Amino acid sequence: MQQPNDDRFRHRDLNWLSFNERVLQEASDKINPLYERIKFLAIFSSNLDEYFRVRVSQLRQMKRVKKSIRKKLALRPTKLTKQIIEEVKAQQDRFGEIYHKQILPELAENNIQVLDAEHFDNNHKEFAESFFKNKVEKNLKPIVLDLKKENELFLENSVLYFLITFEDENKLAVVNIPVNECGRFVQLDNNQRGHDITYLDEIIRHEASCIFPEAEITGIYEIKLSRDAELYIDDIYEGVLAEKIYSSLKQRTDGQPTRLLYDASMPKPVQKKIRKLLNLGKIDMMPGGQYHNFKDFFSFPDPSNNEKLHFKELPPLPHKVLSKSDDYFKDIAKKDQALHFPYMSFSYVENFVKMAAEDEHVTDINISLYRVADESDLTNSLMKALENGKRVTVFVEAKARFDEKNNISWGRKFEEKGANVIYSYPKVKVHSKIMLVCRQEGDVNMRYAYIGTGNFNAETSRIYCDHAIFTADKNITKELQRLFKVLEGELLIPREKNLLISPFSTRQEFIKLIYNEIENARAGKKARITAKMNSLEDKEMIELLYKASNAGVKIRMLIRGFTCLIPGIKGMSENIYITSVVDRFLEHGRIYLFENDGEELMFYGSADWMSRNLDRRIEVVSPVLDKDIKKEFKDILEIQLNDNVKARIQDAEESNRYVQKEKENKSIRSQYEIYNYLKEKHSS
């Protein structure tokens, strides 16, 4: 974990919380329909869960590293964890205020009541009793603990439980809340008086005496334990230093607890008991509200079927060439073709793979899969290609966090069908989004490439903003073919001149491009850098951007997530201005534009300016060579730079202020403007 100097760099983990604050802002922004604001609460909660499982878990691991190594690295995990906990508590207070003072009253205005057990009427109670007996009870696994004896208590990661206290203070019970089996929300029978909804939690709370009929219950408190995800320390430290850190960890236990979220009304003596049972420190205890796992609000029902409570549907736009094409190879050979998700359908990618699988002239299909969908037309077409005798090489990333099981499962399926499947290397992830198809056309072996910023995943393509280009450019496809040979172990380096490929050339080429702008600025020539990415963390790149700013290069950045760069500081970064767009879709594309004294150079691809993307992952960043596509990308970028509805300023104070619209200017909500722009361009 990078431990920067506070004067010149922000800490990535603290600034990430600033990003999640922007998500929380969306939950209270009444521009968004009610049910979409509920989803933003779910996104905030889901983000925070992953943050504790990965980032905070890593801090805990660092606390076990020998003090001599921690001192060398300037690691202060305890202090940082306390800062994180303080900010998270403040955000959770705001979360609770939004939920109770905005969301619940507005649901009620739409005749949707969210009831707790105390407000059940006789009809509700009768329904709750029946639902409990018929569906819930059989899925409960109550555990009774005698505190006078030694106890071992294991709570599963992110599973909801009730901690139940009794009149006998030497007894505690833990009862699971079976969300997977019963759903989180239950619609109650209310004799047609509107729509009454309750939590599954409240059904169990109401029927708790049936679970423990012979005991006097004195308290019921919801708890949830977060456990760490698999940590890839090599992603953070490399080489000998990583080995030292590994050796300094006496014993690494997968699934170490990182946070116990508990009902803040739980008495302190009970808190102490559960903390002891789970062997947690005080810093691991996080007070919360009556309910946890707000990520379940992704499935919050809308019994009203009121369209006004949801985003208006944006049907996928037709691509002006591919939508009419019955031969993608012919049209791509004529001219590069660009796609933009989710504005356009992922089916264009699926159609291309299907055509390749069925085309008698196609000999080879090579593809890298980072996050594989459970099942899709794309994976089915790859299977069909194997049945049709094509040589299929699939690079499967086995270390895509939280997707490992599914990725490896698909890898085995491909292997069984005869594919050449390559799994990721121990210290290198393949994060690039690339595909190469070889086709015998007469005496010529033609190559067709797809390079994108997003995963080959139809589901995520509906909510992630990404860009991709199909090309038959000989230089690009030749270099991509070399990269696949590197992945297969046939070559050591891809020897690229056009593509930027990590860890071989991306850093060096970006450094050259930035120095070129510095030299142009000093010579009085046109100099500007415009960059859109997910996150900015790499110290060398940030120092170079500071240098460019001091040389007079105007730097405009769009960074959705965290940034360790501090903008707008006189004498350091006064020429750097950063905004972040958080809206209906997740901004995921990376575009880099360099003024180059009026001869603009544009690149796009899978790599952020993070150390792992530049040095420890296989990433592909491609130049945008087609003039029409270059203009299209630039137009889209300009729209995002001018967003004055959903853009937040990333300033030195981390204020997350919305960009203010000037009175004479029109409102620009970039994601909707881009949709309209592409609609007009691709319908003409």
Containing H/E element for 183? none
- Tell the burial category of 326 from Cβ atoms under 10 Å away from its Cβ (0-12, 13-18, 19+): exposed
Cβ proximity of 262 and 223 under 8 Å: yes
Active-site residue, selected from the candidate residues 124, 431, 467, 682: 431
List the binding residues for Mg(2+).
371, 401
User: Can you tell me the distance from the alpha carbon of 225 to that of 262, in angstroms, rounded to the nearest whole number?
Assistant: 9
Phi, psi torsion values for 273, nearest 5 degrees: -65, -45
User: Can you tell me the distance from the alpha carbon of 387 to that of 416, in angstroms, rounded to the nearest whole number?
Assistant: 11
User: Can you tell me the distance from the alpha carbon of 248 to that of 65, in angstroms, rounded to the nearest whole number?
Assistant: 5
Three-state SS at 654: coil
User: Can you tell me the distance from the alpha carbon of 264 to that of 281, in angstroms, rounded to the nearest whole number?
Assistant: 17
Reference 132, options 225, 232, 73, 205; nearest CA is 205
Given the structure tokens 């030749």, which residue do they identify?
478
Amino acid, single-letter form, for residue 414:
F
Is 431 marked active-site?
yes
- Longest Cα–Cα distance in the chain: 86
Cβ proximity of 218 and 168 under 8 Å: no
| DSSP-derived secondary structure for 389-441 | T-EEEEEE-TTSTT-HHHHHHHHHHHHHTT-EEEEPBTTBEE--EEEEEEEEE
Cross-strand partners of 223: 161, 262
Containing H/E element for 460? none
| DSSP-derived secondary structure for 558-611 | EESS-B-B--S-TTTTTTEEEEEE-SSSEE---EEEE-GGGS-EEEEES--BSH
Reference 591, options 559, 554, 552, 544; nearest CA is 559
Q: Catalytic residue numbers?
A: 431
